[in-house]
Amino acid sequence: MKSYKTQRRISLILRYILLSLLAVVWIFPIVWIILASFSYNDTGFVSTIWPDKFTLQNYVGIFTSSQFPFVHWLANTFFVAVISATLSTFVTICVAYVLSRLRFRLRKPFLQIALVLGMFPGFMSMIALYYILKSFNMLNLFGLILVYVGAAGLGFYVAKGFFDTIPRAIDEAAEMDGATKWQTFIHIGLPMSRPIIVYTALMAFIAPWIDFIFSGIILSSSGNAKNYTIAYGLYNMVHTTKGTSTLYFTQFIAGCVIIAIPITILFIIMQKFYVNGITAGADKG
């Protein structure tokens, strides 16, 4: 008995040591980025962990720069993310609810086709999407929103799993009382699915907020830096003009810290609903 307790204690100690090492590996880059954003450096990349001199000039400079309109990038990204998250959440929840509650002839084939299509990465279609949007003269923020919302319908599997956990007897009771399918969805389905709505909205908001590939393809032809999003704007900040990769590196890092703040706050506030949504949505497929 004593030997078993000793082995268990050693096992727990080893696990905690492993988790502590993993935590250090995961947290170290974040700490370095935050410290580097406050460092005074005009010679190139920051190669030290603890800055020799702290300054707020990096944050002041990125907001006041005339060459790089960071405020416009922030506003554009926020606009695209909010509109895309709203429309994508509505589309995803509607598709998931229909596939969970209704039974129709092509339901299973659609689920199988959607599962196969979801395995292909989205950037495989970016060239085709570019020429389609170009033909409609939509190589702008609205075209970018259309791309994000258009891909929302295939992200229904987690939400469908959540709706599958809600007893169908509740819907049947509402229908017996004279409620239509739409009324049942609005007054029963949506109030009971708050966790999955929050999860879906967070995922739909994060995607355009941090996306670089589609924003770079669609917005690159505009030629006006004020029309860029944050990810593509920061990329251009250190890659387009010769020599700026070192000159504006610390401001680039400050911009990275700034765009991480809204996502972090959202996750802290919505953490409970996020966890409930993803765990309940994984119960059934």
Cα dist. 239→60, 66, 131, 159, 232 in Å? 21, 17, 25, 39, 10
37 shares a domain with 76:
no
Q: Percent of the chain at pLDDT above 70?
A: 89
Q: What is the pLDDT of residues 18-63, one digit of tens each?
A: 999 999 998 888 888 888 888 876 555 666 677 777 888 888 888 8
pLDDT tens across 136-174, in order? 888 889 988 988 888 777 778 888 888 888 888 888 888
Clarify whether residues 119 and 132 are in a common domain: yes
Q: What does the DSSP 8-state code read for residue 39?
A: B
Domain end marker among 37, 57, 77? 57
66 and 47 housed in the same domain: no
Residues 23 and 150 placed together within one structural domain of the fold: no
HSE, CB side, 13 Å, CA atoms: give it for residue 67: 11
Q: Are residues 63 and 26 in the same domain?
A: no
pTM: 0.80
* Together in a domain, 31 and 167: no
Q: Could you tell me which residues come within 8 angstroms of residue 147 by beta carbon, excluding any fewer than 6 positions away?
A: 129, 133, 214, 218
Give the tens place of pLDDT for each residue, 219-237: 877 778 888 899 888 888 8
Helix (H, G, I), strand (E, B) or coil at 55: coil
Domain count, the chain: 2
Alpha helices in 38-140 (DSSP H): 57-64, 70-101, 107-118, 126-135
The pLDDT value given to residue 284: 44
Same domain, 33 and 106: no
Tell me, yes or no, whether 100 and 88 share the same domain: yes
Picking from 256, 218, 258, the residue whose alpha carbon sits closest to that of residue 235 is: 256
Domain membership of residue 177 as a residue range = 59-281
- The answer to whether the CB of 47 falls within 8 A of the CB of 39 is no
| For residues 204-229, average pLDDT | 84
Closest CA to 88 of 156, 34, 3, 149: 149
- Residue 160: CATH number of its domain: 1.10.3720.10
Check whether residue 22 and residue 46 sit in a common domain. Answer: yes
Burial track 44-78 (b if 16+ CB lie within 10 A, e otherwise) = eebeeeebeeeeeebbebbeeeeebbbebbbebbb
Q: Are residues 42 and 138 in the same domain?
A: no
As a whole number of angstroms, the distance between CA 13 and CA 26 comes to 20
DSSP state of 178: T
What is d(CA 244, CA 241) in angstroms, rounded to the nearest whole number?
A: 6
CA–CA dist 91, 182 (Å, integer): 14
Whether 67 and 46 map to the same domain: the answer is no
